[in-house]
Amino acid sequence: MSAPRFRPDVPEIHRPYAAAADRYSRFDYRQVGDSGLYLPPISLGLWWNFGDNVPFDRQRSILRHSFDSGITHFDLANNYGPPHGSAETNFGRMMREDFGPYRDELVISSKAGWDMWPGPHGDLGSRKYILASAEQSLTRMNLDYVDIFYSHRVDPDTPIEETIGALHTLVVQGKALYVGISSYSAERTVVAAAVARSLGTPLVIHQPAYSILNRWVEDGLTGVLRQERMGAIAFTPLAQGLLTDKYLEDGRGRRSQNRSSLPDKPLPEQTLAALRGLDVIAKERGQTLAQMALQWVLREPTVASALIGASSTEQIDENLAALDGPAFDTEELTRIDVLADGIDVDIWAQSSKL
């Protein structure tokens, strides 16, 4: 049978996909703790721009470009959309139509912990919820297993042994290769890691919010991760867009489709002044503010990857360029610390880090 003929009248996005041959030439992959799992320094989260609010062809373009650029890790959760579940459903279409031949190169993660359906077993950390949610996620994504499955947040009422036990069951069943936790405090992480270790399924990764403006992980968690030989992947490393150029002009930002969790009002003058000062440092380094912010997060040895969102291929390229920036010197880090001092931007309520 002859090969299919090239059709110049068919848009490239609709042609059969073949990944770029040089996709592993851009950067080194980083080990997660002391496990055998390696992540790209920049990973793509499918929180907002991959639901039914965005045309599928635009999603496909971003996902193809990401993989072609060496981004092998795609992070999802049961409630990503909008609506809930739609990001996983759309990614499942990508697996069927584009990424299927490359499944063994991909690191795909999902989570359970936030609300998905009515009733007492529709969120948090019960065994019933986690196992049912994982089954639903696999079906939506057209997968037999995920590479990482997380407890998305602490359940203050369910025994931690039950929650971690459910993660262990997923590994035993072959439905997750690795398991981790998200937004757990240092103290809870110690307990969760001990439970997992006793079951023979170690926790390998923690996904906390972490940025120049949100440093709660430095108050004990990074030390615990080193102690437990776990790695981290930082979400919201750009502080929900604050650490980009969107707010520098007037402090109001350019919000789209009500995505931002930040208050819909101008930033306090102290915060705006700090952002402008950080932007000065970034420009001196030959970087955008976003690029410097990503490189700053990745300077922390326990952080294997920074988890970004993207609404265009251009944003992917800009964020990847952060990896080309010069190393920070002591003076730069001190200036960054002074500017960020007292500005704690934590859009995720402290109660989620119990």
CB 64 within 8 A of CB 98: yes
- Give pLDDT, residue 2: 44
Dihedral sign from CA coordinates of 42, 315, 335, 345: negative
Find the length of the chain: 354
* Residue 216 CA, distance from chain mean position: 17
pLDDT digits (tens, 9 = 90+) for 261-289: 555 678 899 999 999 999 999 999 999 99
> Can you list the residues of the chain whose pLDDT is less than 70?
1-10, 254-264, 346-353
Looking at residue 300, the DSSP 8-state letter turns out to be S
- Per-state percent for the chain, helix, strand, coil, to nearest 5: 40, 15, 45
- Give pLDDT, residue 5: 47
Whole-angstrom distance, CA of residue 80 vs CA of residue 45: 10
Whole-angstrom distance, CA of residue 163 vs CA of residue 232: 20
Domain 30-352 has CATH 3.20.20.100: yes
- Give pLDDT, residue 258: 44
CB 305 within 8 A of CB 40: yes
Domain ranges of the chain: 30-352
- Give pLDDT, residue 3: 46
- Give pLDDT, residue 264: 63
Whole-angstrom distance, CA of residue 174 vs CA of residue 180: 15
Q: How open is the CA angle 240-246-247, to the nearest 5 degrees?
A: 85
What distances in angstroms separate CA 224 from CA 180, 186, 205, 207, 208, one per listed residue? 14, 6, 12, 13, 13
Whole-angstrom distance, CA of residue 164 vs CA of residue 195: 7
- Give pLDDT, residue 14: 84
294: its two tokens: 């990503």
